[in-house]
């Protein structure tokens, strides 16, 4: 029987998470309208041991949130049909408590501060590096109580006091340049 090998992205998406994974139950929904960023970020997260689903815009993300259960939402802000901020507003209006990492190159801190009720766990300012993305994911999961001390992350309540974690852009080449 002849079988064609799957392209690398499809192989990763169909294989269970790698043995490096800190906790196999962490499912992430990654929403970004930029196909290259979506593929790059999802591969990075999968290789870091997370289960990842993707959506091409906020509306598709909203539909995915109703179809599956996730531990974390990572969303770009500027997208067609439904922006990341609008997606988070819908999420919170529906009383979903899912932690959120919001990525943006244009959204201002003042706007985030006006919308503190959205409870954004971390904000990534574009361009950001792979390390900054992974740090934001770990912070958001920790703040939500999803990571335990055995994962090497403290879950003390003092770690959760800050409503926003702003990760500054790196001046070096980043994932979104």
List, for residues 106-163, the tens digit of each pLDDT value. 876 777 677 787 999 999 999 999 999 999 999 999 988 854 433 433 333 333 333 3
Q: Place domain 22-167 in its CATH homologous superfamily.
A: Response regulator (3.40.50.2300)
pLDDT of residue 34: 96
Identify the pLDDT of residue 47.
96
What are the residue boundaries of the structural domains of the chain, listed by start? 22-167
- The answer to whether residues 148 and 155 touch, using CB atoms and an 8 Å cutoff, is yes
**Residues forming beta bridges with residue 78, ordered by sequence position:** none
Kindly report whether the global pTM for this prediction surpasses the value 0.75.
no
Q: Is the Cβ–Cβ distance between 165 and 128 less than 8 Å?
A: no
């Amino acid at each position: 029987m002849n079988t064609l090998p799957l392209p690398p992205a499809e192989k990763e998406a169909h294989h269970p998470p790698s043995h490096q994974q800190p906790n196999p139950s962490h499912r992430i929904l990654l929403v970004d309208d930029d196909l290259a960023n979506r593929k790059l970020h999802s591969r990075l997260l999968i290789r870091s041991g997370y289960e990842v689903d993707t959506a091409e815009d906020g509306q598709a993300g909203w539909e995915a949130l109703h179809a599956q259960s996730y531990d974390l939402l990572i969303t770009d802000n500027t997208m067609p049909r439904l922006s990341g901020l609008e997606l988070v507003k819908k999420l919170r209006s529906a009383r979903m408590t899912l932690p959120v990492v919001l990525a943006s190159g244009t959204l201002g801190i003042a706007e985030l501060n006006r919308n503190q009720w959205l409870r954004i766990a971390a904000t990534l300012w574009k361009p950001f590096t792979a390390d900054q993305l992974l740090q934001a994911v770990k912070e958001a999961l920790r703040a939500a109580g999803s990571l335990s001390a055995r994962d090497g992350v403290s879950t003390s309540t003092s770690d959760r006091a800050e409503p926003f974690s702003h990760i500054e852009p790196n001046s070096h080449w980043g994932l979104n340049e």
